[in-house]
Amino acid sequence: MKLNSLLPSFAFSIAAMSSLSNADALDSLGHIHSLSFAGEEQQTLLLGAHHGLYSYQHNNANLVSKQAFDVMGLAREPKTGTVFASGHPPQGGNTGLLRSDDGGKNFTLVSEGLDGPVDFHQLAISAVDPRRIYGVHGGLQVSNDGGKSWRKAGALPPKLLKLAASNTQLNRLYAASEQGFFVSQNSGETWQKSLSSPATTVVTHQGRVFAFIVGQGLVVANESDMQWREIYNAFGLQVLLDLAVSGDGQRLVGLSQKGELLESLNKGESWNSLPPKPQPVTTQEMNGRKIYQANCQSCHGIEAVGETYSIDGLTTEGFLFAPALNGSMHGWHHTDEQLVKTIMDGSPRTAKMPAWKGTLSETDALDTIAYLKTLWGEKQKRCQGPGHMDRNCLQGH
Ligand code: HEC
């Protein structure tokens, strides 16, 4: 299969994109690294971010942790609600493994880990026995006593992106990696690849495993039989790097490689941005949405998130995905005139982006652009065109 030969470019795209800006509304948190639900019913969304641990409710983020630290790994023990975290203190260095028994307000040091102090970028706790904790720092480390002492496990799958512990088998562990989806039955000593498309995240929830598989979207399996079922595959060019599932399983929140949050209120069957994108207001924007949905959405995706990754796209050399036009890619680097020209004349590189001049008028094209701008952030609107090269504009001066 050709897939593997194309993975380096895919890996590059994840790495490059994750350094792009967050959604404007969440800018003050710095990059979000990890998600979890907390509270008795597990309805409060926790964000592990560059400036600390935040709760996110009614589209407002509030700092929960009294200590400010860059939260990298984050894991919550499902039964007791104990929160474990690891990352970097503001003065630099690593925090070691931290623990909070009050929902993330106060953290205390559990241990420095092996070769520490560690910054576990990945943390996983077994729901079968909460004393079993896994952390990734210079390889996989395993603890059997709640994080006090640690031993090294076997080699991890290469290009690991996310680790999750089984809810039903003490020694079973799942790994999402750019090289596939892996399972270990012996606490990470050895691994078996069970899916070969890139897997960008995995979480376990009440006996089920959720994973994001590039080309297949969000999938779920019961841990008892590991038969995958597709939940949703219209994420466009977004992949989920983390996922949190609420206590009742109704609400899912995902973190894209662009640092943006996505939310589903119906078990993953449909998704919107979090906070939701503003609705079109003016006649021009509303007309533009109609034109977009009728002519462009089939390729550029729902709310212009881009053409969804497909196995075909990943295995065909030179395949050009229809880019996101929602402000997350470089569409906003062009002026209105340049965008109109692309829409009217098509792309010189591929007939896949056809010329629309036989079908649409220039006014239609401008209306479509007006709609697309409702999906852009403040920065994209302010610095459209040449402004994208202007540091002052980008920094908001
Ligand atoms: C059949 C698939 C398809 C349809 C339908 C389609 N596009 Fe595209 N579009 C593409 C592809 C593929 C590209 C990338 C071309 C390239 O890389 O040269 C593209 C590129 C673009 C670009 C350039 C983006 C950039 O960052 O430079 C714009 C703007 C655009 N399309 C707008 C539209 C609009 C508006 C519509 C509807 C009127 C539309 N497209 C319909 C496939 C499509």
Residue with the smallest CA separation from ligand 1 atom 32 is 343
Q: Is 304 in the pocket of ligand 1 (CB under 6 A)?
A: no
Tens of pLDDT along the chain (397 residues) come to 444 444 445 544 554 444 333 444 466 676 899 999 987 788 889 999 998 999 998 888 899 999 889 999 999 988 888 999 999 998 999 999 999 999 999 999 999 999 989 999 999 999 999 999 999 999 999 999 999 999 999 999 999 999 999 999 999 999 999 999 999 999 999 999 999 999 999 999 999 999 999 999 999 999 999 999 999 999 999 999 999 999 999 999 999 988 889 999 999 999 999 988 999 999 999 999 999 999 999 999 999 999 999 989 988 988 999 999 999 888 999 999 999 999 999 999 999 999 999 999 999 999 999 999 999 988 999 999 999 999 999 888 7
Nearest to 79 by CA among 126, 149, 143: 126
Q: Is 56 in the pocket of ligand 1 (CB under 6 A)?
A: no
Give the domain CATH number at 173. Answer: 2.130.10.10
Q: Is 347 in the pocket of ligand 1 (CB under 6 A)?
A: yes
Q: Is 322 in the pocket of ligand 1 (CB under 6 A)?
A: yes
Q: Ligand 1 centroid vs 321 CA: distance in angstroms?
A: 9
Residue with the smallest CA separation from ligand 1 atom 6 is 296
Q: What pLDDT is attached to residue 22? A: 40
For residues 104 and 83, the answer to whether their CB atoms sit within 8 Å is yes
Q: Ligand 1 centroid vs 7 CA: distance in angstroms?
A: 24
| Domain count across the chain | 2
Compute the residue count for the chain: 397
* 301 shares a domain with 165: no
* 255 shares a domain with 361: no
CA 206 to CA 187: how far, in whole Å?
Answer: 19
* 379 shares a domain with 260: no
CA 333 to CA 201: how far, in whole Å?
Answer: 30
Query: Rounded to two decimals, what is the model's pTM?
Result: 0.91
Pocket test of ligand 1: the residue of 292, 295, 299, 374 to mutate, having most ligand atoms within 8 Å of its CB, is 299
Domain boundary among 274, 296, 316: 274
* 24 shares a domain with 7: yes
* 234 shares a domain with 336: no
* 352 shares a domain with 205: no
* 289 shares a domain with 269: no
Q: Is 289 in the pocket of ligand 1 (CB under 6 A)?
A: no
CA 332 to CA 123: how far, in whole Å?
Answer: 37
Q: Is 331 in the pocket of ligand 1 (CB under 6 A)?
A: yes
Q: Ligand 1 centroid vs 65 CA: distance in angstroms?
A: 44
Helix (H, G, I), strand (E, B) or coil at 389: helix
- Calculate the CA 11 to chain-centre distance: 14
* 174 shares a domain with 300: no
Q: Ligand 1 centroid vs 81 CA: distance in angstroms?
A: 47
Q: Ligand 1 centroid vs 322 CA: distance in angstroms?
A: 6
Ligand 1 atom index nearest CA of 369:
35
Tokens matching residue 115: 């070769």
* 268 shares a domain with 294: no
For residues 194 and 26, the answer to whether their CB atoms sit within 8 Å is no
Q: What pLDDT is attached to residue 96? A: 97
Give the domain CATH number at 346. Answer: 1.10.760.10
For residues 114 and 143, the answer to whether their CB atoms sit within 8 Å is no
Phi, psi angles (nearest 5°) of residue 9 = -70, -35
* 305 shares a domain with 206: no
Q: Is cis: bond before 280, omega within 30 of 0? A: no
For residues 55 and 43, the answer to whether their CB atoms sit within 8 Å is no
Domain boundary among 246, 274, 302: 274
Residue with the smallest CA separation from ligand 1 atom 5 is 296
* 330 shares a domain with 253: no
Q: Is 350 in the pocket of ligand 1 (CB under 6 A)?
A: yes
Q: Is 353 in the pocket of ligand 1 (CB under 6 A)?
A: yes
Note down the domain range covering 182: 3-274
Ligand 1 atom index nearest CA of 321:
12
Q: Is 355 in the pocket of ligand 1 (CB under 6 A)?
A: no
* 248 shares a domain with 145: yes
For residues 197 and 215, the answer to whether their CB atoms sit within 8 Å is yes
Q: Ligand 1 centroid vs 381 CA: distance in angstroms?
A: 19
Q: Ligand 1 centroid vs 70 CA: distance in angstroms?
A: 38
Ligand 1 atom index nearest CA of 338:
29
Domain boundary among 274, 307, 328: 274
